[in-house]
Amino acid sequence: MTADVIDGKAFAAKIKLDVAKQVVILKEQHGIVPGLAVVLVGEDPASQVYVRNKNKSTKEAGMNSFEHRMLPDVSEAELLDLVKKLNEDPAVHGILVQLPLPKHINEAAVIDAISPDKDVDGFHVINSGLLATGGQGMVPCTPQGCIMMLKDRLGDMSGLEAVVIGRSNIVGKPVAQLLLNENCTVTMAHSRTRDLATVVGRADIVVAAVGVPELVKGSWIKDGATVIDVGVNRIEKADGKTRLIGDVEYDEAAKHASAITPVPGGVGPMTIAVLLKSTIVAACRQAGIEEPEV
Ligand code: NAD
């Protein structure tokens, strides 16, 4: 068996196109220009790239992009003050504070200062609580992207065995919760899990979100399973250049799986597309209108 490749790039492009059409409708019919504010503290190179890409994609979709850069030694109080201003600004429908923050700033305090309605990252404790209790909140972008790809591929996932490897608040836990909401039988595996091979071997759906290159061996994958690899690991090649690989041993896994996401080009591109989509959702909820159908 050779797995189908789940093309996250193409999927993300389609979402972005739909978002751009929704923006036109919101402008023409409701006079709303959805706005996303992104706050970057410090000069972390990876964060700078993410923020630049988010800014570019937001503008390409026809939305307003508000970028706020703060020095690495900014105080927590100054950052909280900015968040407060953005909460109160009616032109801003979504707020994203790029993580990680410098060590002297309490990340949880900053996330929880964001108005839950504008928390397009879905990390606010109210939004995690709504996700856990089946309410309607803002859902974290990468986990949402994983579920969109799975639903597109599998349709109804009721009763399927899903194994999520990794239990972080930003990926593993919300992915598991979303799979539970899809009526999967969900197992969460983590660094203390005994016999990961056996746990993975019973899964119809494997979501790997660990950050360890090729931790998940291809031979563990059950024949016909669907594999979503969230991991992004930069490794050095023999020639000294670097390349990105996932948490799953791709070539071997592709011999057993029915479908698999590549790294890069799988989950990665979905995150920004879903962020734009979430900004539309936030703008519509704040205006008390339905999301435009396209
Ligand atoms: P994290 O470090 O917060 O969590 C990693 C999890 O993996 C932990 O819960 C830990 O228990 C588990 N773990 C560690 N070693 C393990 C082992 N040997 N066996 C089983 N489980 C183990 O990481 P995170 O923020 O959840 O990110 C995970 C990966 O996903 C990273 O590679 C990150 O770069 C990537 N990521 C990608 C995107 C994207 O593509 N858009 C977004 C977020 C994260």
In this prediction, residues 212-241 reach a mean pLDDT of: 97
Q: Mean pLDDT for the chain?
A: 97
| pLDDT, position 285 | 98
Specify the pLDDT at position 145: 98
Determine whether the shortest distance from the Cβ of 234 to ligand 1 is under 6 A. Answer: no
- What is the secondary structure of the chain as a DSSP string? --PEE--HHHHHHHHHHHHHHHHHHHHHHH----EEEEEEES--HHHHHHHHHHHHHHHHTT-EEEEEEE-TT--HHHHHHHHHHHHH-TT--EEEEPSPPPTTS-HHHHHHHS-GGGBTT--SHHHHHHHHTT------HHHHHHHHHHHHHHS--TT-EEEEE---TTTHHHHHHHHHHTT-EEEEE-TT-S-HHHHHHT-SEEEE-S-STT-B-GGGSPTT-EEEE---EEEE-TTS-EEEE-SB-HHHHTTT-SEE--SSSSHHHHHHHHHHHHHHHHHHHHHT-PPPP-
pLDDT tens per residue, range 84-106: 999 999 999 999 999 999 999 99
Strand 226-229 versus strand 259-260 pairing type: parallel
pLDDT given at position 1? 74
Q: Does 281 contact ligand 1 (Cβ within 6 A)?
A: no
Residue 76 scores a pLDDT above 80 = yes
Residue 227 pLDDT: 99
Residue 81 annotated in active site: no
Distance CA 153, CA 151 (A): 5
User: With bands split at pLDDT 50, 70 and 90, how would you rate the model's confidence at 140?
Assistant: very high
Per-residue pLDDT tens digits for 34-46: 999 999 999 999 9
**Beta bridge partners of residue 187, listed in sequence order:** 163
- Note if 98 is an active site residue: yes
**Would you say residue 11 has pLDDT above 80?**
yes
Instruction: Name the residue of 230, 263, 272 whose CB sits within 8 Å of the most ligand 1 atoms, as the mutation to test its pocket.
Output: 230
d(CA 53, CA 163): 31
The residues with which 164 forms a beta bridge, in sequence order, are 188, 207
Closest CA to 209 of 181, 184, 176: 176
Burial 81-113 (b: 16+ CB within 10 A, else e): ebbeebbeeeebbbbbbbeebbeebeeeebbeb
Q: Which atom of ligand 1 is nearest to the CA of 167?
A: 9
pLDDT tens for 52-66 read: 999 999 999 999 999
Whether the per-residue pLDDT at 286 is higher than 90: the answer is yes
Q: What pLDDT is attached to residue 12? A: 98
Is residue 155's pLDDT more than 80? yes
Average pLDDT over residues 160-166: 99
Question: Cα(172) to centroid of ligand 1, in Å?
Answer: 7
Q: What percent of the chain has pLDDT over 90?
A: 99
The pLDDT value recorded for residue 27 is 98
> Residue 57: what pLDDT?
97
Mean pLDDT of 185-199: 98
